[in-house]
Structure 1
Amino acid sequence: MCSHLSSQLKRAIYTSFFSPPQYHYHFHYHRLLRSPLSTQTRPQELPFIADYLISSFGFSLDRALKASANSSLRAIKSSARPEAVVKFLTDTGLSHSQIKSVVSFRPALLGSNVDKTLKPKVREMMEVGIPGEVLVQLIRYNPGALALKDVPARLRFWRDFVGNNDKALLKIISVNTFLFNLRIDKHILPRLNLLKEYGLSNKDMVSLFEGRSCFCYHLDSISQILDLIEEMGISRGSGMFLYGLKAMANFCIGKIKSNAEFFKNTYGWSQEEVCAAFRKYPGVLQLSEENVRSKMNFLMSKAGFEARSIASKARLLRCSLEKVLIPRYTVLSTLQSKGLKKKCSLSNACLASERRFREIYVVPYEKDVPGLSETYAAAYGGKAPV
């Protein structure tokens, strides 16, 4: 993404953000955002803003009354200010459904002064070089950012962190919106320093934050996860350490250990075999019990594997049962039954790319086994993969 806006785009953003609010549109926006009225019995005298939240955004009576007690909302007696905020968010690029989501998450935003609070905040961000596209996405995914202090400083930090790569910044903002709300000095830097101690580079950390991460955990919890990865046999600084951390990023220690116990109790794996499987495929401890059972049952009953031997071939468990394991096993079985390929490694066949699999196991045998492609397609679900 280009880091500088064209003059036309800048002019369009400034025009929409900083032109005087058009209050005569408020009935238009009110109608566009109107949801069915709450069916709850209302008191005869409702605060104006409570009635507005119910009729315009579908709030329940209890939620509307609770929101109306907020100091920034309780003094509102007309729709002028909330409709000005709605228009501002619309001009910023949010859809009506997104605005409803924003208001549902943070109703107090409707009490903001567009000219004194929202526009200056956006202007401040633009003046430090934040592209309009990034601002739109930031507000869309994290409307609470408009209420944060030091927003420009936070944006500068994260832009520097991702090397001024706005595409990476947008991905982090959309996936891990909470990161932007954490204080740099108190929350972010201690976590970054801890990850550096375990050998993660800045590039590794950017990659980690582009997916949902454990970064919101308490520092001690993150440290426990990092230590557990080492205990499982992946040394810090190695190429696999990042993959191990990504695999555990959304799981608490208790869930990880519970998944490990499942393999021990159900399939007789030892602790060493669980660790070996984790080193082969860190995502093995992410899989649901149902997912594991279906694949293990197939590998044991159809492909002839022993339960404990699968630990050393754990990458098979990352393969789709319907799209990889069954159709490719069907092809290998067909070739073996015809005596055309006596030594067929299911692991090698299933871990190969689609193109490589067809080059090795399908194309060379189509003349000797008429209909082999059709057999593969039927096992895949009626249509051969491309």
Structure 2
Amino acid sequence: MCSHLSSQLKRAIYSSFFSPPQYHFHYHYHHLLRSPLSTQTQPKELPFIADYLISSFGFSLNRALKASTNRHLTVIKSPAQPEAVVKFLTDTGLSHTQIKSVVSLRPDLLGYDADKILRPKVREMMEKGFPGEVLVQMIRYSPVVLKLKDTLARLLFWRDFVENNDKALLKIILCNSFMFTLNINTHILPRINLLKEYRLSNGDMVSVLGTKNCWGRNLVSLRRILDLIEELGIPRGSGMFLTSLKAIAHLSIGKIKSNAEFFKNTYGWSQEEVCAAFQKYPNILTFSEENVRSTMNFLMSKAGFEARSIALRPRILGCSLQKVLIPRYTVLSALESKGLKKKYSFFSACLASERRFREIYVVPYEKDVPGLGEAYAAAYGGKVPV
């Protein structure tokens, strides 16, 4: 993902920002990006930029009309301005598909002066040593950064944060590109300081950037989540603390506690058993009641397990009922009925990879149990033999 542009290509791109712009384009330049015109009935006199967005970037009529009211786009009366921006994006290294994505996210970018605003900003970042791949992905996923006055300062902050690791910097861009739009002093630093209190390293923080609502939470809510993880028995600074944060950061405190109460009220688990299960498998408090009920009912009524024994092996609740539990139970029951495999662990069998399960429980017995492979395949497809 982080392969850099060749030195020759980087020099070519770099030189393009210092060379006098040559804007001898024609309207057909965008035919490479052209999508079919909207079939909707269009008004007799469509604003130029709306027609341009429809014909060159495949916008719907409604989207194009809405975009055309933007103050940066209303003044555009010819293709020269937007084509200059497309030329700039091409020079920066974006493909035609990526340019369409950028324009789709921020059509108003077509109204910005490529020579006075956009090129100087990218030139400045290149002079500070940011590789072309980082710039391409940043613009592709968060084009709004081209409009911010302090884009370079934000990039320098995050580069220092990841200790000049371009791969980690790209991970921030790909996982949560909106991070570059958040104010460093008022939003980012307070959360970094809070996470450090719970002994998360910079690398840990980067790994949770893609976790929905972790960085978007207000400080009070984020601290409550961190405190709750400790209350459930996970010590701060441990590897499982980070795993737990990734698992439950997208949930509200109320939802997490409600899920814990469900196990207590429905299956008689104690608070200690809920905590022990969470410590082994934090995702257990993220499943819907409907899915848990279906899986627990199968394990208890069909496979013959007690509710509290499942609390000791909570990972089993993360297995798909239709694609893992039922098919594998079918195979194991068939082997047991034939006296071919009397000793086995249902939990271990269900947690094994698909390849490992077939190697241990299916392939060696296909001659002794004709049709075993077909029966397993049928069960895997939801057609459980009676």
TM bin (shorter chain): 0.7 to 0.9
Structure 1 residues 168 and 320: CA distance shift in structure 2, 3 A: farther
- Deviation, structure 1 residue 27: 2.5
Compute the displacement of 1:346 (Å).
Answer: 1.4
1:292-303, aligned counterparts within 5 Å?
Answer: 292-303=292-303
- Structure 1 residue 200: Cα displacement: 1.2
RMSD, aligned CA:
3.2
Structure 1 residue 265 displacement after superposition: 5.1
Q: Secondary structure at 1:160's aligned position in 2?
A: helix
In the other structure, the counterpart of 2:49 is 49
2:23 is the counterpart of 1:22: yes
Give the letter for the 2:162 counterpart.
V
Does residue 205 in structure 1 map to residue 205 in structure 2? yes
Paired residue for 1:74? 74
After superposing the two structures, state which structure 1 stretch, 57-66 or 163-172, moved more: 57-66
* Secondary structure, counterpart of 2:243 in structure 1: helix
Q: How does 1:123-134 map to 2 (within 5 A)?
A: 123-134=123-134
Aligned to 1:245: 245
2:286 match: 286
Distance change in 2, residues 1:170/1:254 (3 Å): same
Deviations 1:11-48 (A, max 9, x none): 23235656524342432205733442372553x55543
SS at 1:72 equivalent: coil
1:341–1:34 distance in 2 versus 1, CA, 3 Å: closer
> Once the two structures are superposed, what CA deviation does each residue of 1:333-362 show, in whole Å capped at 9, x if it has no partner?
234334454443212222244565566656
Give, as a single letter, the amino acid of the residue that structure 1 aligns with 2:199. G
Cα gap change, 1:5 to 1:49, in 2 (>3 Å):
closer
Equivalent residues of 1:213, 1:246 under 8 A apart: no
CA contact (8 A) 1:38 1:58 kept: no
Tell me the amino acid that sits aligned with residue 284 of structure 2: V
The 5-angstrom pairing of residues 148-187 of structure 1 reads 148-187=148-187
* 1:256 corresponding residue in structure 2: 256
Partner of 1:332: 332
CA contact (8 A) 1:365 1:372 kept: yes
Q: For residue 36 of structure 1, what is the aligned residue in structure 2? A: 37
CA distance in 2, matches of 1:289, 1:12: 57
Determine if the alignment matches structure 1 residue 122 to structure 2 residue 143.
no
Structure 2 residue identity aligned to 1:39: Q
Deviations 1:285-319 (A, max 9, x none): 22234433442232123211233442222100112
Q: 2-side partners of 1:271 and 1:16: how far apart? A: 64
For residues 320 and 106 of structure 1, the distance between their equivalents in structure 2, rounded to whole angstroms, comes to 40
| Correspondence for 1:318 | 318
Whole-angstrom CA distance in 2 between matches of 1:47 and 1:106: 18
Give the structure-2-normalised TM-score.
Answer: 0.84
Change (3 A) 1:374 1:185: same
Alpha-carbon contact 1:30-1:83 (below 8 Å) kept? no
3-state secondary structure, aligned to 1:205: helix
Report which stretch shifted further, 183-192 or 368-377. Answer: 368-377
Distance 1:340 1:92, change over 3 A: same
Q: Separation in 2 of the partners of 1:381 and 1:2?
A: 39
CA distance in 2 between counterparts of 1:6 and 1:18 reads 19
In structure 2, C-alpha distance between the alignment counterparts of 1:98 and 1:141, rounded to whole Å: 9
2:229 equivalent in structure 1: 229
For residues 71 and 260 of structure 1, the distance between their equivalents in structure 2, rounded to whole angstroms, comes to: 51
CA distance in 2, matches of 1:354, 1:32: 43
Going from structure 1 to structure 2, the CA distance change for 1:286 and 1:12 (only over 3 Å counts) comes to farther
Q: Gaps (5+ residues) in structure 1?
A: none
**SS where residue 53 of structure 1 aligns?**
helix
* SS of alignment partner, residue 78 of structure 1: coil
**AA matched with 1:209:** L
Name structure 2 gaps, 5 residues minimum.
none
CA distance in 1, matches of 2:250, 2:39: 37
Q: 1 CA distance for matches of 2:38 and 2:371? A: 62
SS in 2 for 1:209: coil
- Contact residue 176 and residue 213 of structure 1 kept, 8 A: no
* Aligned counterparts of 1:78 and 1:373: Cα–Cα separation in 2: 66
Take 1:37 and 1:65, find their aligned partners in 2: how far apart are those partners? Answer: 12
- Alpha-carbon spacing, 1:62–1:368, altered in 2? closer, same or farther (3 Å): closer
- Pair 1:3–1:40, CA change in 2 (3 A): closer
Per-residue CA deviation, residues 64-112 of structure 1 (Å, 9 max, x unaligned), is 4543343322322211101221232244344445433322332220111
Larger deviation, residues 222-231 vs 273-282:
273-282
**How much does 1:273 deviate?**
3.7
2:87 corresponds to which residue?
87
CA deviations over 1:206-238 (Å, ceiling 9, x no partner): 222255451112222211211221222222222
Partner secondary structure for residue 329 of structure 1? helix
Rounded to whole Å, the distance in 1 between the matches of 2:76 and 2:364 is 76
Q: Following the alignment from structure 2 to structure 1, what is the Cα–Cα distance between the partners of residues 305 and 247?
A: 25
Displacement of 1:249 in angstroms is 2.5
Partner of 1:196: 196
Q: CA deviation at 1:375?
A: 5.4
Deviation at 1:377, TM superposition (A): 5.1
